[in-house]
Structure 1
Amino acid sequence: MKLISWNVNGFRALLRKMDVYAWMQKNNVDALCIQETKMHQGQVQFDTPGYYQYWNDAVRKGYSGTAIFTKYKPVNVTYGMGIDMHDQEGRLITLEYERFFLLAVYTPNAKRDLTRLDYRLEWGTAFKNYVRQLDEIKPVIFCGDLNVAHTEIDLTYPKSNKGNSGFTIEERQDFSSLLDCGFIDSFRALYPNQTGAYTWWSFQFNARQRNIGWRIDYFVTSERLRNRMIDAKILCEVAGSDHCPIELDLNDSFTTDKNAM
């Protein structure tokens, strides 16, 4: 089972740069979860024969948004957390399958001046409670741009970025608290000491070419899926956004009867 997550930084812009559907087919992607669509579904013609589409658009046009394209029809779909103050920006989609939940998530950014840090932490607490409740029912896989570099190994310049958005003590503790509830960062579980592994680079100063970046995109799974993980990859060669896609390969299946389209 091959899952891919990607903050596309504007889906219409990405479609002008590459044939996303052909790329999905070529790489035999079972589910693609995208963040920061920056559009409403009706603003683009995107045909995906063989894949179901699920979109969660922000109320505000041109902002945030998530989508999932999957070969397998879920038994249930939920948009948001059921909390009105957190469900206006299209940041969460939950697909329930027979064997697990698959979530696409786009965590709010605290902003450069940290004016949104308090809200970011409120959202994080609500999300933690939400996935804990799901995990009591069946295993959870959630993926996306979580807007935090968890530890110093996850960004090029940790010392100079301490206290900056995405690397505040509060944001890092928020992620640690989530993992402590029985979840694992799949990439670090498999590659605990790998350095230079980043998923986002600034457009400035040739940061991507110089690999001056941050790892802020994750596949997180319930602890009990640890032994089903085959590999976790950072697809840094794939261009089209300031983020690159990430991949999780699991020895598992979406359904017992493979109810594909």
Structure 2
Amino acid sequence: MCRNGLTRTSWNTFKDCNGILDELHADIICFQEMKSSRASLAHSVAVPENFASFFSFPATKGGYSGVAVYVDLRRITPLKAEEGLSGTLQPKPPLEFEERVSPSYPSTNDIELFPDEDGGVPHSFDALDAEGRGLVVDFGLFVLINVYCPNETSDARAAFKMNYHLLLQERVRRLIEEEHREVIVLGDINVCATPMDHCDGHLPSTSANFWEHPARQWFRNWLGPNGPMIDVVRSFWPERKGMFTCWNTKISARATNYGTRIDYVLVTRGLMKWIKHGDIQPSLKGSDHCPIFVDLHDEITLETGETVKLLDCIQQGTKRDLPRIAAKHWEEFSGKQTLLSSFFGKGKNSEKSPSEPEPPGLVPSESRETSVVSSQAHGPAKPSTSTSSISIPKSQTKSSKLVSKPITSTKKRKPSPTPSGSKKKVKGGQADISSFFTKTSNSSASQSTQQNDVIHIPSDTDEDANPIASQDQLDADYRLALQLSEEASTLSVEPSSSQNSSSSKSAWSSLFTPIPPPKCNVHGEITKKYIANKPGPNKGRAFYLCSRPVGPGYDKGKGERLREEVDHQYRCNYFKWASEVKREASSSK
């Protein structure tokens, strides 16, 4: 049984992708939201040993969307594979008839598509398939469809989202009705199936209009008992609450399990006899999604008493080559294309003569110290003895940051001769703030006061422009001021100097003391400071919110939450700009 998975992380940082895939103990591993590109895939990630790999990336948006399927070749070999759902994404040359998973593809005439904001409907599926959201792989016993369905980020994307759902439904309908195939659809559907799958689904205001959203209504009709697809995980846990797979990390919603279930494994009815178990893996963190999985029986007994093995049903009797869209056949990984790295390899006769001077500031490429900033995957849990499983972990990838640091020579250079009579120039730089407080030991107290007590006070910068940098500077200057005040008191000779030092210390403390955060109105607790990162006029501004975590029924404000549905054990709707807190503190002095 597969009990482990890989959460969203950076694919390009994995030095041993094959080892990570082995730790999943699954025969078919699917990822959604890769957020990478074909050009940035490392060789070990694209074609790991013992695995067949299939990818679909956006046509134009690099680092956006993307899905992947890995298959353990030691167990099974996929028969056919296609990119996209509509058949419009074809390799060069296009797939032959016998290479296709389906003999025909959906047409816009077969679907009543949703109109966009201008009332128009698409005349092709090119745009829907151009974002790298689907892979179709034939395993004989079933056709697997790995999808990352669009999210409704705005009203303009509502029609795009619904039309993708309808395209998916039509592709599955053709496989079931025309080809008489069993189908597994898995991945991020981006829809809650029932109110039980939503963190606020128990609230009357949410449950009352839950099915009014067209995507939820579509999903309800597509799932059994109304439609052909069975929600596998829910079938094993029909009454389980809080079985969420996605959480908003920006508001730290995972700590209180304030999430949604939008990731699924859906199968046609004929495959249910092969399903052994299914569940989610919320304990695997590091992502805003958690992996889900299903296990298949190694063999089943039919009503006739005949025993059927899984490997026989997925046609694994003969060896065959991988489908043509597999990454193994890409030019850059098949040996047909010269890799860029080969142009930078050091030749046998390219070594420099010992007498040849080394150009200043340059070092050979082999002597560069390179470090890769990477994310760490979670360690595996102990797997069971299941021999065939399907694991659907999520993967949000970001391009890895490659830091190349040249190694400079440590050999001392002879100083250049200085002409006699000329003054030695000293390279200027930024003066440290402590240099303004330096005291000469041979000066009298009066001379020190006249010459060296020059105090540079930082200007009162706008906290909203750069609140973090401003606060750090105030804290550093405050500590330095206290230290210098103590030194001044020990160096003073006159009795009056001690009094002046005490008053000076008090003045400095009053000037540089950080402004304490306010308390929220409902709980009377210290609030938490945040920085606005959303593009717009308020980006970079600091503000305060209630420090309690979010949770079911937390106060979003009167405009978004009914007063009778507010649960006061969670975050209240306190909000105040840091600049307003600063003005109130200044006026109270």
Q: Which has the larger radius of gyration?
A: 2
What does residue 94 of structure 1 align with? 136
The alpha-carbon distance between structure 1 residues 117 and 44, as it changes in their structure 2 partners (threshold 3 A), is same
Deviations 1:183-242 (A, max 9, x none): 101111111110011110111332112111111000000011122211111011112321
Query: What is the CA-CA distance between 1:250 and the residue it aligns to?
Result: 1.4
For 1:259 and 1:237, locate their aligned partners in 2 and report how far apart those are by CA, in whole Å. Answer: 40
| Higher percent of residues as strand | 1
For 1:25 and 1:117, locate their aligned partners in 2 and report how far apart those are by CA, in whole Å. Answer: 39
Q: Is the 8 A contact 1:80 1:90 kept in 2?
A: yes
Which amino acid is 1:217 matched to? D
Structure 2 length normalisation: TM-score? 0.40
The alpha-carbon distance between structure 1 residues 167 and 110, as it changes in their structure 2 partners (threshold 3 A), is farther
Root mean square deviation, CA, Å: 2.8
Which runs of no fewer than 5 residues in structure 2 stay unpaired?
87-124, 299-309, 323-589
Q: 1:246 aligns with which of 289, 292, 309?
A: 292
Q: Residues 1-261 of structure 1: matches in 2 within 5 Å?
A: 8=8, 13=10, 16=13, 21-45=18-42, 46=45, 47-59=47-59, 60-71=61-72, 72-82=76-86, 83-111=125-153, 113-136=154-177, 137=179, 138-158=181-201, 159=203, 162=206, 169-179=213-223, 180-251=226-297, 253=310, 255-257=314-316
Q: Is the 8 A contact 1:139 1:224 kept in 2?
A: yes
Which runs of no fewer than 5 residues in structure 1 stay unpaired?
none
The alpha-carbon distance between structure 1 residues 174 and 185, as it changes in their structure 2 partners (threshold 3 A), is same
For 2:193 and 2:222, locate their aligned partners in 1 and report how far apart those are by CA, in whole Å. Answer: 11
Q: Is the 8 A contact 2:136 2:146 kept in 1?
A: yes
Higher relative contact order, structure no. (Cα contacts within 8 Å, ≥ 6 residues apart): 1
Which amino acid is 1:211 matched to? N
Structure 1 length normalisation: TM-score? 0.87
Query: What is the CA-CA distance between 1:2 and the residue it aligns to?
Result: 5.6
Q: Is the 8 A contact 1:3 1:32 kept in 2?
A: no
The range that moved more, 61-70 or 232-241, is 232-241
Q: How many residues align?
A: 255
For 2:158 and 2:192, locate their aligned partners in 1 and report how far apart those are by CA, in whole Å. Answer: 15
For 2:286 and 2:270, locate their aligned partners in 1 and report how far apart those are by CA, in whole Å. Answer: 34
Deviations 1:133-180 (A, max 9, x none): 1123311011100001111110211248849xx986211111122223
Same amino acid, percent of matched pairs:
27
For 2:205 and 2:136, locate their aligned partners in 1 and report how far apart those are by CA, in whole Å. Answer: 33
Which amino acid is 2:51 matched to? Y
Q: Is the 8 A contact 1:54 1:68 kept in 2?
A: yes
For 2:143 and 2:246, locate their aligned partners in 1 and report how far apart those are by CA, in whole Å. Answer: 26
Which amino acid is 1:129 matched to? E
For 1:129 and 1:37, locate their aligned partners in 2 and report how far apart those are by CA, in whole Å. Answer: 25
